[in-house]
């Protein structure tokens, strides 16, 4: 099942990242460049780096100029994240290009890769919530609250994993079909963001 592969790789990435705990550490992807595993590894590495960027920028003592630089870096990273999701959807489109949808086939509310994107973020939530649930310096009440949240996140991962596998099975059998829309983000495009193109006048 794809979800089992994804969850395993996401856990691996988070562990690999925290060996260095460095946002700028180069990715050392152990998987074949043509494989889905390779794409999933990169995807979660992007998300893990962005997670820690978000931590840094929320420091209430951060210098405003430094904070703005981090915000711009997060925006750029978010574009990389979006591009990677679309690249993974391209993998699935290619994989299922020979499937002829059934006459009553339906489209899903989101593409496989955007569902996998949520699974990747969920892996990060689970990892960091587990860390809090086990943090010895925290109060017993804090650890219990985090354990309760962790149990919910684990249940959510199970449900989302099942949904992803069911979606891919339905696509393979022709019961559903893929139709991917590019995100067309506007805020980074100097020709579409009014603040940016007015500045050029």
pTM for the full predicted model? 0.90
pLDDT in tens, 157-179: 999 999 999 999 999 999 999 98
Which residue has tokens 């920028």?
57
Q: How far is CA 81 from CA 14, 84, 120, 144, 163, in A?
A: 16, 5, 11, 33, 22
pLDDT in tens, 139-160: 999 999 999 999 999 999 999 9
Residue closest to 72 by CA, chosen among 105, 47, 96, 50? 50
Whether the Cβ atoms of residue 150 and residue 63 lie closer than 8 Å to each other: no
Angle between helices 2-20 and 36-57 (to 10 degrees): 50
For the chain, domain boundaries? 2-199
Q: What is the pLDDT of residue 150?
A: 98
Maximum Cα–Cα distance across the chain: 59
pLDDT in tens, 85-143: 999 999 999 999 999 999 999 999 999 999 999 999 999 999 999 999 999 999 999 99
Nearest-angstrom CA–CA distance, 84 and 185: 14
């Amino acid at each position: 099942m794809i979800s089992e592969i994804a969850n395993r790789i996401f856990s691996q990435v988070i562990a690999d990242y925290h060996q260095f705990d460095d946002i700028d550490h180069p990715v050392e992807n152990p998987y074949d460049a043509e494989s889905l595993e390779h794409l999933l590894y990169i995807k979660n590495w992007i998300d893990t780096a962005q997670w820690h960027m978000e931590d840094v920028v929320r420091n209430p003592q951060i210098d405003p100029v430094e904070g703005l630089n981090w915000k711009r870096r997060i925006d750029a990273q978010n574009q990389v994240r979006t591009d990677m999701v679309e690249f993974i959807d391209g993998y699935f489109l290619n994989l299922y290009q020979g499937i002829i949808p059934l006459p009553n086939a339906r489209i899903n509310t989101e593409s496989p890769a955007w569902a996998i994107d949520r699974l990747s973020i969920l892996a990060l939530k689970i990892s960091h919530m587990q860390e809090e649930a086990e943090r010895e310096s925290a109060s017993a009440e804090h650890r219990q609250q985090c354990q309760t949240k962790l149990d919910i996140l684990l249940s959510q991962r199970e449900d989302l994993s099942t949904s992803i596998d069911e979606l891919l099975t339905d696509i393979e059998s022709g019961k559903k079909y893929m139709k991917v829309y590019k995100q067309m983000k506007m805020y980074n495009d100097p020709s579409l963001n009014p603040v940016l193109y007015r500045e050029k006048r």
